[in-house]
Structure 1
Amino acid sequence: MSFTHVLAVAPVTEMEVSMAWYERLLGRPPDKRPMPGLADWHIAPSGWVSVLRSPEHAGSTLLNLVVDDLDKAIADLAEWGITAGKIQPGSQNVRFAAVRDPDGNRVTLIENPVS
């Protein structure tokens, strides 16, 4: 079996509030609004982040995003009103920090992931 895309879905309660937050996190409006209650950001050629109105599942997602420079990413987010948690060290020079969307879905920014 082969796959062509990865779609990470963050379920939320309020689309407009969450879309505004993800626009700040990802630095731009969604690329597509394929239907009511769904917004897609194409963050890599085959990787998308989707926000889906699904109140019964909101707050349960763990999303990891790899960044080139964690310190810069955290500084940029702070300018956009998003506060990251403390930077945590991992093994082999990996560092990460998490933010939470308005529903509590956790987005972890990771620098230098182990390949």
Structure 2
Amino acid sequence: MALDLFAGICVSDLPAARDWYERFLGGPPAFLPNDTEAVWELAEHRYVYIELKPPHAGHGLQTLFVDDLDERVAAVAGRGIEPVLRETYDNGVRKVTYRDPDGNEIGLGGGPAEDQRSS
């Protein structure tokens, strides 16, 4: 069974949101299906998209788990975006939370820091 995932985030200003997500994700959208959406392919068959829907903007919650959390957080910071929250759960899982211009929450999650794995 083929399975594709499209995780949508509603925004109120498409150009501003597209700029933020390009900086956050490190590049331009994979494709623009129409005048109100932009889509990024995060991994094979796994997409995140923004859609111009002002009444619904600001209520999104997404978390992406990655193997290279520290490197990604550093890369995002290098593109001018800083997290609003950093958390470490009792099981060692870490989450770094960002907010786009509408207040949608997008988090990056991963395991313990490299220097904590060998401890």
Give the TM-score taking structure 1 as reference length: 0.90
Structure showing greater Rg: 2
Structure 2 residue 47 is matched with structure 1 residue 48: yes
Aligned counterpart, 1:12: 11
Q: Distance in 2 between matches of 1:15 and 1:86?
A: 25
Q: Contact 2:29 / 2:38 at 8 angstroms: preserved in 1?
A: yes
**What is the letter of the counterpart of residue 104 of structure 2?**
N
Aligned counterpart, 1:65: 64
Q: CA deviation at 1:93?
A: 2.1
Question: Normalized per residue, which structure has more helix?
Answer: 2
List 4+ stretches of structure 1 deviating above 3 A: none
SS at match of 1:56: helix
Q: CA deviation at 1:40?
A: 0.5
Q: What whole-Å deviation, never above 9, does each CA across 1:1-24 have from its counterpart, x for those lacking one?
A: x66111110100111110010001
**What is the letter of the counterpart of residue 96 of structure 2?**
A
Aligned counterpart, 2:107: 108
Unaligned runs of 5+ in 2: 113-119
**What is the letter of the counterpart of residue 91 of structure 2?**
Q
Count of matched residue pairs: 112
Q: Contact 2:30 / 2:39 at 8 angstroms: preserved in 1?
A: yes
